Structure 1
Amino acid sequence: MSVVLGVLRLPHGRDMRIPIYETEHAAGLDIMAAIPEDKPLNLAPGQRELVSTGLVLEVPAGFEAQVRPRSGLALKHGVTVLNSPGTIDADYRGEVKVLLINLGQVAFEIRRGDRIAQLVVAPVSQVEVVLVETVTDTGRGEGGFGSTGSSA
Protein backbone atom coordinates (compact mmCIF):
# COMPACT_ATOMS: atom_id res chain seq x y z
CA MET A 1 0.00 0.00 0.00
CA SER A 2 1.33 3.40 -0.97
CA VAL A 3 0.77 6.39 1.32
CA VAL A 4 0.17 9.69 -0.49
CA LEU A 5 1.70 12.88 0.93
CA GLY A 6 0.16 16.01 -0.57
CA VAL A 7 2.63 18.87 -1.14
CA LEU A 8 1.68 22.48 -1.88
CA ARG A 9 4.47 24.83 -2.95
CA LEU A 10 4.01 28.35 -1.63
CA PRO A 11 4.95 31.33 -3.85
CA HIS A 12 8.44 31.63 -2.32
CA GLY A 13 9.07 27.92 -3.03
CA ARG A 14 7.53 27.60 -6.51
CA ASP A 15 10.83 27.04 -8.32
CA MET A 16 12.11 24.43 -5.87
CA ARG A 17 11.70 20.69 -6.23
CA ILE A 18 9.34 18.80 -3.97
CA PRO A 19 10.84 16.53 -1.30
CA ILE A 20 12.33 13.32 -2.68
CA TYR A 21 14.06 10.21 -1.43
CA GLU A 22 17.72 10.52 -2.45
CA THR A 23 18.32 6.76 -2.51
CA GLU A 24 16.18 3.70 -3.18
CA HIS A 25 15.83 2.62 0.47
CA ALA A 26 16.01 6.02 2.19
CA ALA A 27 13.60 6.52 5.08
CA GLY A 28 13.63 10.31 4.88
CA LEU A 29 12.63 12.80 2.20
CA ASP A 30 15.09 15.69 1.94
CA ILE A 31 13.65 19.17 2.39
CA MET A 32 15.34 22.40 1.39
CA ALA A 33 15.65 25.99 2.54
CA ALA A 34 13.31 28.37 0.69
CA ILE A 35 15.06 31.57 1.63
CA PRO A 36 15.72 34.48 -0.74
CA GLU A 37 18.52 33.81 -3.25
CA ASP A 38 20.18 37.12 -2.42
CA LYS A 39 19.91 36.73 1.37
CA PRO A 40 21.73 33.62 2.62
CA LEU A 41 21.25 32.89 6.29
CA ASN A 42 24.40 33.03 8.42
CA LEU A 43 23.90 30.80 11.46
CA ALA A 44 26.42 31.81 14.13
CA PRO A 45 27.63 29.29 16.75
CA GLY A 46 24.86 28.86 19.32
CA GLN A 47 22.29 30.62 17.13
CA ARG A 48 18.95 29.07 16.26
CA GLU A 49 16.74 30.04 13.35
CA LEU A 50 13.37 29.03 11.96
CA VAL A 51 14.02 28.29 8.27
CA SER A 52 11.26 28.37 5.66
CA THR A 53 10.78 25.45 3.26
CA GLY A 54 8.08 26.97 1.06
CA LEU A 55 5.96 23.84 1.57
CA VAL A 56 2.59 22.98 3.07
CA LEU A 57 2.01 19.28 3.62
CA GLU A 58 -1.20 17.31 3.52
CA VAL A 59 -0.29 14.43 5.81
CA PRO A 60 -2.90 11.65 5.67
CA ALA A 61 -4.98 10.88 8.75
CA GLY A 62 -3.31 8.26 10.92
CA PHE A 63 0.19 9.52 10.03
CA GLU A 64 2.64 12.22 11.06
CA ALA A 65 5.61 13.76 9.27
CA GLN A 66 8.70 13.91 11.47
CA VAL A 67 11.28 16.63 10.81
CA ARG A 68 14.71 15.17 11.53
CA PRO A 69 18.32 16.35 11.23
CA ARG A 70 20.57 15.46 8.33
CA SER A 71 23.49 13.44 9.67
CA GLY A 72 26.04 15.11 7.38
CA LEU A 73 25.16 18.61 8.61
CA ALA A 74 25.40 17.45 12.22
CA LEU A 75 28.74 15.65 11.76
CA LYS A 76 30.51 18.15 9.51
CA HIS A 77 29.12 21.44 10.84
CA GLY A 78 27.33 20.82 14.16
CA VAL A 79 24.04 21.99 12.62
CA THR A 80 20.97 20.07 13.76
CA VAL A 81 17.20 20.31 14.23
CA LEU A 82 16.59 21.71 17.70
CA ASN A 83 13.21 20.10 18.42
CA SER A 84 14.06 16.76 16.89
CA PRO A 85 12.01 15.07 15.79
CA GLY A 86 9.55 17.83 15.13
CA THR A 87 6.04 16.57 14.45
CA ILE A 88 3.79 17.75 11.64
CA ASP A 89 0.29 16.56 12.50
CA ALA A 90 -2.20 15.34 9.89
CA ASP A 91 -4.44 18.36 10.50
CA TYR A 92 -1.71 21.06 10.24
CA ARG A 93 -1.90 23.14 7.06
CA GLY A 94 0.69 25.85 7.66
CA GLU A 95 4.14 26.21 6.12
CA VAL A 96 6.70 23.66 7.23
CA LYS A 97 9.59 25.46 8.90
CA VAL A 98 12.70 23.86 10.35
CA LEU A 99 14.17 25.00 13.66
CA LEU A 100 17.92 24.74 13.10
CA ILE A 101 20.66 25.37 15.64
CA ASN A 102 24.39 25.67 15.09
CA LEU A 103 26.17 23.69 17.81
CA GLY A 104 29.45 23.95 15.90
CA GLN A 105 32.43 26.23 16.48
CA VAL A 106 32.10 28.39 13.37
CA ALA A 107 29.31 30.15 11.51
CA PHE A 108 27.38 28.12 8.95
CA GLU A 109 25.85 29.64 5.81
CA ILE A 110 22.49 28.38 4.54
CA ARG A 111 21.62 29.20 0.95
CA ARG A 112 18.42 28.82 -1.04
CA GLY A 113 17.97 25.19 -2.06
CA ASP A 114 20.30 23.74 0.58
CA ARG A 115 19.02 20.48 2.00
CA ILE A 116 18.47 21.32 5.67
CA ALA A 117 16.47 18.43 7.13
CA GLN A 118 14.57 15.29 6.28
CA LEU A 119 10.98 14.20 6.66
CA VAL A 120 9.99 10.73 7.80
CA VAL A 121 6.29 9.89 7.40
CA ALA A 122 5.19 7.41 10.05
CA PRO A 123 1.95 5.93 11.35
CA VAL A 124 0.64 7.14 14.70
CA SER A 125 -1.75 5.71 17.23
CA GLN A 126 -4.10 7.64 19.41
CA VAL A 127 -4.79 6.04 22.77
CA GLU A 128 -7.63 6.15 25.24
CA VAL A 129 -6.34 7.82 28.40
CA VAL A 130 -7.74 6.43 31.63
CA LEU A 131 -6.98 7.43 35.20
CA VAL A 132 -5.72 4.53 37.37
CA GLU A 133 -5.13 4.20 41.12
CA THR A 134 -1.87 2.24 40.75
CA VAL A 135 0.44 1.07 37.99
CA THR A 136 1.61 -2.48 37.38
CA ASP A 137 4.93 -3.51 38.89
CA THR A 138 7.86 -4.18 36.56
CA GLY A 139 11.41 -5.32 37.16
CA ARG A 140 12.66 -1.87 36.30
CA GLY A 141 10.24 0.11 38.44
CA GLU A 142 11.25 3.75 38.83
CA GLY A 143 14.77 3.30 37.46
CA GLY A 144 15.60 5.81 34.73
CA PHE A 145 18.39 8.02 33.39
CA GLY A 146 21.24 5.52 33.38
CA SER A 147 19.73 2.99 35.78
CA THR A 148 20.52 0.10 33.43
CA GLY A 149 24.24 0.94 33.28
CA SER A 150 26.47 1.94 30.40
CA SER A 151 28.45 -1.16 29.49
CA ALA A 152 27.45 -4.57 28.18
Structure 2
Amino acid sequence: MIDAEAEKMKQIPVKVKKLHPDAVIPQYAKPGDAGFDLVAIEDVIIAPGETVKVPTGLAFAIPEGYELQVRPRSGISAKTKLRVSNAPGTIDSSYRGEVCVLIDNVAPIPYRHLTCVRRIDGAVHSVDIKRPEGSYIIRKGDRIAQGVICEVPVAQFEEVDGLDETERGIGGFGSSGVRA
Protein backbone atom coordinates (compact mmCIF):
# COMPACT_ATOMS: atom_id res chain seq x y z
CA MET A 1 0.00 0.00 0.00
CA ILE A 2 1.29 3.46 -0.93
CA ASP A 3 1.84 5.80 1.97
CA ALA A 4 -0.77 8.59 1.53
CA GLU A 5 1.56 11.28 2.87
CA ALA A 6 4.37 10.28 0.49
CA GLU A 7 1.97 10.29 -2.49
CA LYS A 8 0.67 13.73 -1.44
CA MET A 9 4.22 15.12 -1.53
CA LYS A 10 5.17 13.51 -4.88
CA GLN A 11 7.33 15.93 -6.82
CA ILE A 12 8.39 15.78 -10.46
CA PRO A 13 11.66 17.51 -11.41
CA VAL A 14 11.03 19.97 -14.26
CA LYS A 15 13.84 22.01 -15.81
CA VAL A 16 12.91 25.58 -16.80
CA LYS A 17 14.96 27.88 -19.04
CA LYS A 18 14.43 31.64 -19.10
CA LEU A 19 14.44 32.79 -22.73
CA HIS A 20 13.81 36.41 -21.77
CA PRO A 21 15.26 38.38 -18.83
CA ASP A 22 11.77 39.37 -17.64
CA ALA A 23 10.44 35.80 -17.62
CA VAL A 24 9.10 34.60 -14.27
CA ILE A 25 10.04 31.12 -13.05
CA PRO A 26 6.73 29.38 -12.22
CA GLN A 27 5.58 28.99 -8.67
CA TYR A 28 2.48 27.74 -6.91
CA ALA A 29 0.45 30.55 -5.29
CA LYS A 30 -0.65 28.44 -2.30
CA PRO A 31 0.21 25.04 -0.81
CA GLY A 32 -1.98 22.34 -2.34
CA ASP A 33 -2.55 24.23 -5.62
CA ALA A 34 -2.64 21.97 -8.68
CA GLY A 35 -1.58 24.72 -11.07
CA PHE A 36 1.37 27.08 -11.13
CA ASP A 37 1.26 30.57 -12.62
CA LEU A 38 2.31 31.41 -16.17
CA VAL A 39 3.17 35.10 -16.56
CA ALA A 40 3.15 37.37 -19.63
CA ILE A 41 6.49 38.99 -20.58
CA GLU A 42 5.02 41.78 -22.72
CA ASP A 43 1.95 43.96 -23.06
CA VAL A 44 -0.63 42.54 -25.47
CA ILE A 45 -3.97 44.04 -26.47
CA ILE A 46 -6.67 41.59 -27.55
CA ALA A 47 -9.63 42.99 -29.48
CA PRO A 48 -13.01 41.22 -29.61
CA GLY A 49 -12.87 38.22 -31.92
CA GLU A 50 -9.07 38.05 -31.85
CA THR A 51 -6.82 35.20 -30.76
CA VAL A 52 -3.37 36.25 -29.58
CA LYS A 53 -0.28 34.24 -28.70
CA VAL A 54 1.04 35.64 -25.39
CA PRO A 55 4.70 34.78 -24.72
CA THR A 56 5.90 33.61 -21.30
CA GLY A 57 9.63 33.73 -22.10
CA LEU A 58 10.04 30.19 -20.71
CA ALA A 59 11.00 26.81 -22.14
CA PHE A 60 10.52 23.56 -20.20
CA ALA A 61 12.06 20.10 -20.18
CA ILE A 62 9.02 18.05 -19.16
CA PRO A 63 10.05 14.53 -18.13
CA GLU A 64 9.09 11.73 -20.51
CA GLY A 65 5.73 10.25 -19.54
CA TYR A 66 4.35 13.68 -18.52
CA GLU A 67 2.84 16.73 -20.19
CA LEU A 68 2.42 20.36 -19.20
CA GLN A 69 -1.23 21.36 -19.53
CA VAL A 70 -1.93 25.08 -20.03
CA ARG A 71 -5.24 25.94 -18.39
CA PRO A 72 -7.23 29.11 -17.76
CA ARG A 73 -7.15 31.04 -14.50
CA SER A 74 -10.67 30.98 -13.10
CA GLY A 75 -10.69 34.65 -12.08
CA ILE A 76 -9.89 35.84 -15.60
CA SER A 77 -12.54 33.56 -17.11
CA ALA A 78 -15.15 34.73 -14.58
CA LYS A 79 -14.44 38.47 -14.83
CA THR A 80 -13.54 38.95 -18.53
CA LYS A 81 -14.32 37.67 -22.01
CA LEU A 82 -10.77 36.25 -22.29
CA ARG A 83 -10.43 32.49 -22.68
CA VAL A 84 -7.39 30.21 -22.99
CA SER A 85 -7.80 28.64 -26.44
CA ASN A 86 -8.23 24.87 -26.68
CA ALA A 87 -7.82 24.49 -22.93
CA PRO A 88 -6.15 22.52 -21.74
CA GLY A 89 -3.34 23.00 -24.22
CA THR A 90 -0.67 20.31 -24.18
CA ILE A 91 3.07 20.91 -24.03
CA ASP A 92 4.68 17.57 -24.90
CA SER A 93 7.76 16.22 -23.13
CA SER A 94 9.72 16.43 -26.41
CA TYR A 95 9.04 20.19 -26.96
CA ARG A 96 11.84 22.59 -26.01
CA GLY A 97 10.59 25.88 -27.47
CA GLU A 98 8.97 28.84 -25.77
CA VAL A 99 5.66 28.20 -24.06
CA CYS A 100 3.10 30.75 -25.21
CA VAL A 101 -0.53 30.99 -24.16
CA LEU A 102 -3.20 31.30 -26.86
CA ILE A 103 -5.91 33.64 -25.60
CA ASP A 104 -9.24 34.38 -27.30
CA ASN A 105 -11.35 37.48 -26.67
CA VAL A 106 -14.88 36.08 -27.06
CA ALA A 107 -16.57 39.48 -26.60
CA PRO A 108 -18.94 40.40 -29.45
CA ILE A 109 -17.32 42.50 -32.16
CA PRO A 110 -18.61 46.07 -31.68
CA TYR A 111 -19.16 48.91 -34.11
CA ARG A 112 -17.59 51.70 -32.08
CA HIS A 113 -13.98 52.32 -31.13
CA LEU A 114 -12.59 53.79 -27.91
CA THR A 115 -9.21 54.96 -26.62
CA CYS A 116 -9.35 52.71 -23.57
CA VAL A 117 -9.26 49.00 -22.89
CA ARG A 118 -9.94 46.90 -19.78
CA ARG A 119 -7.14 45.27 -17.84
CA ILE A 120 -7.65 41.69 -16.69
CA ASP A 121 -8.30 42.99 -13.17
CA GLY A 122 -11.26 45.03 -14.55
CA ALA A 123 -9.66 48.47 -14.36
CA VAL A 124 -9.77 50.83 -17.35
CA HIS A 125 -6.48 51.48 -19.16
CA SER A 126 -5.92 54.30 -21.68
CA VAL A 127 -4.18 53.51 -24.98
CA ASP A 128 -2.65 55.69 -27.69
CA ILE A 129 -4.80 54.49 -30.57
CA LYS A 130 -8.47 53.63 -30.88
CA ARG A 131 -9.37 50.03 -30.07
CA PRO A 132 -12.72 48.28 -30.44
CA GLU A 133 -14.98 48.40 -27.41
CA GLY A 134 -14.50 45.16 -25.45
CA SER A 135 -10.71 45.06 -25.95
CA TYR A 136 -8.49 43.92 -23.08
CA ILE A 137 -4.86 44.55 -22.28
CA ILE A 138 -2.65 41.91 -20.74
CA ARG A 139 0.25 43.70 -19.12
CA LYS A 140 3.79 42.46 -18.75
CA GLY A 141 3.88 40.63 -15.41
CA ASP A 142 0.20 39.59 -15.41
CA ARG A 143 -0.54 36.00 -14.42
CA ILE A 144 -2.40 34.85 -17.55
CA ALA A 145 -2.81 31.09 -17.21
CA GLN A 146 -1.82 28.16 -15.08
CA GLY A 147 0.26 25.10 -15.83
CA VAL A 148 -0.40 21.63 -14.50
CA ILE A 149 2.02 18.71 -14.84
CA CYS A 150 0.09 15.52 -15.66
CA GLU A 151 1.14 11.94 -16.15
CA VAL A 152 0.45 10.63 -19.66
CA PRO A 153 0.06 6.90 -20.22
CA VAL A 154 1.10 5.68 -23.65
CA ALA A 155 -1.63 3.79 -25.50
CA GLN A 156 -0.91 0.51 -27.25
CA PHE A 157 -3.30 0.45 -30.20
CA GLU A 158 -4.73 -2.84 -31.43
CA GLU A 159 -6.79 -2.98 -34.60
CA VAL A 160 -9.88 -5.17 -34.23
CA ASP A 161 -12.89 -6.06 -36.40
CA GLY A 162 -15.46 -5.15 -33.71
CA LEU A 163 -15.85 -3.54 -30.31
CA ASP A 164 -17.69 -4.78 -27.23
CA GLU A 165 -21.32 -3.67 -26.81
CA THR A 166 -22.29 -1.07 -24.19
CA GLU A 167 -25.59 0.42 -23.06
CA ARG A 168 -24.71 3.72 -24.74
CA GLY A 169 -23.47 2.14 -27.94
CA ILE A 170 -22.87 4.68 -30.71
CA GLY A 171 -24.94 7.44 -29.05
CA GLY A 172 -22.86 10.61 -29.35
CA PHE A 173 -23.39 14.32 -28.69
CA GLY A 174 -26.49 14.88 -26.59
CA SER A 175 -27.44 11.21 -26.42
CA SER A 176 -27.68 11.21 -22.62
CA GLY A 177 -30.04 14.21 -22.48
CA VAL A 178 -29.77 17.35 -20.38
CA ARG A 179 -31.95 16.67 -17.33
CA ALA A 180 -30.61 15.02 -14.19
Question: Could you tell me the TM-score, scaled by structure 1's length?
Answer: 0.92
Is the Cα–Cα contact under 8 Å of residues 48 and 135 in structure 2 kept in the other structure? Answer: yes
Query: Unpaired runs of 5+ in structure 1?
Result: none
- Is residue 15 of structure 2 the alignment partner of residue 6 of structure 1? yes
Is the Cα–Cα contact under 8 Å of residues 38 and 145 in structure 2 kept in the other structure? Answer: yes
Equivalent residue number for residue 52 of structure 1? 55
Equivalent residue number for residue 113 of structure 1? 141
Equivalent residue number for residue 143 of structure 1? 171
* Aligned-pair CA distance for 1:42: 1.1
1:72 to 61, 65, 75: 75
CA shift digits 1:4-54 (9 cap, x unpaired):
1111001x2x2343111111111111101112xxxx211111111011100
- Is residue 37 of structure 2 the alignment partner of residue 30 of structure 1? yes
* Aligned-pair CA distance for 1:55: 0.2
Is the Cα–Cα contact under 8 Å of residues 22 and 41 in structure 2 kept in the other structure? Answer: no
Q: State, as a whole percentage, how many aligned pairs show the same letter.
A: 45
- Is residue 91 of structure 2 the alignment partner of residue 98 of structure 1? no
- Is residue 131 of structure 2 the alignment partner of residue 124 of structure 1? no
C-alpha distance in structure 2 between counterparts of 1:132 and 1:25, whole Å = 43
Read off the aligned partner of 1:86 and give its amino acid letter: G
C-alpha distance in structure 2 between counterparts of 1:18 and 1:104, whole Å = 31
C-alpha distance in structure 2 between counterparts of 1:70 and 1:103, whole Å = 16
* Aligned-pair CA distance for 1:84: 1.0
Q: CA RMSD in A?
A: 1.1
Considering Cα pairs closer than 8 Å and 6+ residues apart, tell me whether 1 or 2 has the greater RCO. 1
Query: Unpaired runs of 5+ in structure 2?
Result: 1-9, 109-133
Please tell me whether Structure 1 or Structure 2 has the larger radius of gyration of its CA atoms: 2
Is the Cα–Cα contact under 8 Å of residues 40 and 140 in structure 2 kept in the other structure? Answer: yes
- Is residue 28 of structure 2 the alignment partner of residue 21 of structure 1? yes
Aligned length in residues: 146
Question: Could you tell me the TM-score, scaled by structure 2's length?
Answer: 0.78
* Aligned-pair CA distance for 1:73: 1.0
